[in-house]
Structure 1
Amino acid sequence: MSRPPTFVPPPGARAYRLRTARGEFAVVDAPVAAGAEPRGTALLLPGFTGSKEDFNPLHEPLSARGYRTVAVDGRGQFESDGPVDDDSAYAQRELARDVLAQAEALGTPLHLLGHSLGGQIARAAVLLDHSPFVSLTLMASGPAQVSASQQQRVKLLRDALGVMSMAEVWEVIQAMEPPEETDTGAGLDAGLDAGLDDRADLRRRWLGHKPAQLLATGLQLCTEPDRVAELGALPLPFHVLSGARDDTWPVPLLDDMARRLGARRTVVEGAEHSPNCDQPLATARALAGFWDTQDRTAG
């Protein structure tokens, strides 16, 4: 299982609300480290039931390599507001337009990274308009719908949300999981050895999510079409990064997607669906190594 994220931003990082033409979004913004040569800026999108905090372990090593990193809660995720019961507000196209508004607000060409569900939202954003982006990294994010086992998990979650409150669903999840696990669905990658403080933070994050966001994006994960050919036609460099094991999208499927995209392919040993939490230093090295090869006009 994956390790839980830390909810404490690293030294020098700033948590604030990014104002955009489509509303405000909660972000953690980590500047380039003192003394490092600035090399670019990256916008980081979290996965299903995740949040900006999933990227906290990456900020310091990427900062030291010269990259400013901005992790964002999407509409209806954790500390970003959104409608409670309007599924249409969370249509993939709407979430993609949010990403373009975030890029405009940051005001610089960006490396875009999406984890799991965030990768599919990132893909939708660049298909709408790739011009704000220097590159796209899909981290543990596959070409189409999630695996059959994960579709079943998402269906159970969506069924539960139809008849229970968020707090009630959380209690059921905790009762059903083994003591060492706290994974609540595809893309929530917080698990191994979660202590009491971790569990309190994870519960707070869960309760911060809007039910309509989970219902809408859960359905997207289970029905997403294969858009790899469409994506590969764009004039962007691509990077497909994953752990060595992944039950949301099998690793051979990610290998094939990278081949179809002509993308750089990185497999992080010792990591599963959340290499950002499992092996952050190796993941940061791989990301910076890819970004270093791209046009340095990014930021």
Structure 2
Amino acid sequence: MNRPPSQISPHGGSRVDLPGRYGPIAALHARAAATGHPPPTALLVPGYTGSKEDFVPLLDPIAAAGLDAMAIDMPGQYESGGPDDEDAYLPATLGMVLAELVGKLAAEGNQVVLLGHSYGGLVARGAVLAGAPVAGLTLMCSGPGELPDGPRRQTLDLGEPAMREHGIEAAQRMREQLDAMNPPRPGNTPELVALMRERFVRSQPAALLGKAHALRTEPDLVSSLARTLHVGGIPCLVTCGEGDDAWSVSSQRDMADRLDADFAVIPGACHSPNTENPTELLATLLSTWRSWLTA
């Protein structure tokens, strides 16, 4: 399949083993130059219908800054398999699995900065609550709990019965019809739209259904996360696009205040600064991560 330049991956693809019933997941890597000791690792976790390809614009610049970059498909997502069990894809459950992956990287001598985008932020939060040994946590375009009312939640509400009754292709057609009724999102080229369609229909239905349920029911766990960050001395950054249409900018700013975290708004971006304005996002991420890793 042809992909737009921002989505073509010249990076090393691999399979990463996960514990128990999840099996291997797909990952993209960009390696920092060898320095004789393990470099820090930026572990990048995509959102609900996203994939590792969402982070392609970030991988090489992160590696050039001296960090290994690893972007993954979550279990059940695009090129990663997973069990036929909706509960296996809830944030706390996936968080425990992600915590084990972080633990493996840390055992190899790598400091790990963990970034979760949207639903991936809820999973990254779950990983930290499960004891993931991270050097820092970045929550990007993610919120304190369930997705608030709005077009994205409406899509979930309509998509679930369509998928259960008619299958994943019917749910995708419904998504496309709803998208056509809204203003086009920044950077949505025909090639990117094709990728978005392919990865949706190749995902495990149980994964999409389980994550959709969580997006409508996830409790506010900010206080618990704040305690964990404080006790562990783990720094945190909350960042989002200035036009984020999932969780509002104000709700994410409030979450940052409750976490005693840094907060940054990325101009010229909505819900996906990683593809909509990667240059500004990278400036924020790299300066913040450097301060964490040299503290």
Structure 2 length-normalised TM:
0.88
Tell me which of 163, 172, 178 is aligned to 2:180. Answer: 178
What residue is the counterpart of 2:163 in the other structure? 161
Q: Distance in 2 between matches of 1:254 and 1:48?
A: 18
Map 1:47-196; keep pairs closer than 5 Å. 47-84=47-84, 86-106=85-105, 107=108, 108-130=110-132, 132-149=133-150, 150-178=152-180, 192-195=187-190
Q: Find the partner of 2:215 among 212, 216, 221.
A: 221
| Distance in 2, Cα, partners of 1:27 & 1:225 | 29
1:252-291 alignment runs, 5 A limit? 252-291=250-289
Shift of 1:33: 4.8
SS for the counterpart of 2:200 is: helix
Aligned residue pairs, count: 281
User: Cα distance, 1:28 vs. partner?
Assistant: 0.5
- Classify the secondary structure of the residue corresponding to 2:180: coil
CA contact (8 A) 1:77 1:208 kept: yes
In 2 relative to 1, CA 87–281 (structure 1 residues): closer, same or farther, beyond 3 Å? same
Secondary structure (helix, strand or coil) at the match of 1:75 reads: coil
Q: Distance in 2 between matches of 1:128 and 1:193?
A: 36
Asked if structure 1 preserves the Cα contact closer than 8 Å seen for 2:238 and 2:263, the reply is: yes
1:245-293 deviation digits (Å, cap 9, x = unpaired): 1121110111111111111111111111111111101111111111101
- Residue deviations 1:106-127 (CA, integer Å, cap 9, x gap): 3323000000000011001100
Q: Give, in angstroms, the shift of residue 50 of structure 1.
A: 0.6
* Farther off after superposition, 162-171 or 224-233: 162-171
Say if 2:159 and 2:174, in contact at 8 Å, map to a contact too. Answer: no
1:16 equivalent to 2:10? Answer no
Tell me the equivalent position of 2:27.
27
Q: Note the C-alpha offset of 1:172.
A: 3.2
Specify whether residues 30 and 42 from structure 1 end up closer, same or farther in structure 2 by C-alpha distance, changes over 3 A only: same
Show structure 1 runs of 4+ deviating over 6 A. Answer: 179-182
User: How many Å separate the matches in 2 of 1:122 and 1:210?
Assistant: 20
Amino acid at match of 1:103: V
Shift in Å, 1:173: 2.8
CA drift of 1:83 comes to 2.5
Amino acid at match of 1:248: A
Q: CA deviation at 1:56?
A: 0.6
TM-superposition CA deviations, 1:173-221 (whole Å, max 9, x none): 3344329977xxxxxxx764422x3333222211111111111111111
1:38 CA displacement: 7.8
Deviation at 1:71, TM superposition (A): 0.7
Q: Which amino acid aligns with 2:167?
A: S
Amino acid at match of 1:256: D
- How far off its partner does 1:170 sit? 2.1
RMSD (Å), alpha carbons: 2.4
- 1:227 Cα deviation (Å)? 1.0
Aligned-partner Cα distance in 2 for 1:172–1:71: 29
Which runs of no fewer than 5 residues in structure 1 stay unpaired?
A: 183-189
The secondary structure found in structure 1 opposite 2:165 is: coil
Confirm whether residue 239 of structure 1 aligns to residue 233 of structure 2.
no
The one-letter code matched in structure 1 to 2:95 is: A
> Gaps (5+ residues) in structure 2?
none
Q: Which residue of 2 aligns with 1:202?
A: 196
Richer in helix (by share):
2
- Sort the Cα spacing of 1:282 and 1:100 in 2 relative to 1 into closer, same or farther, 3 A: same
State the one-letter code of the partner of 1:194. Answer: T
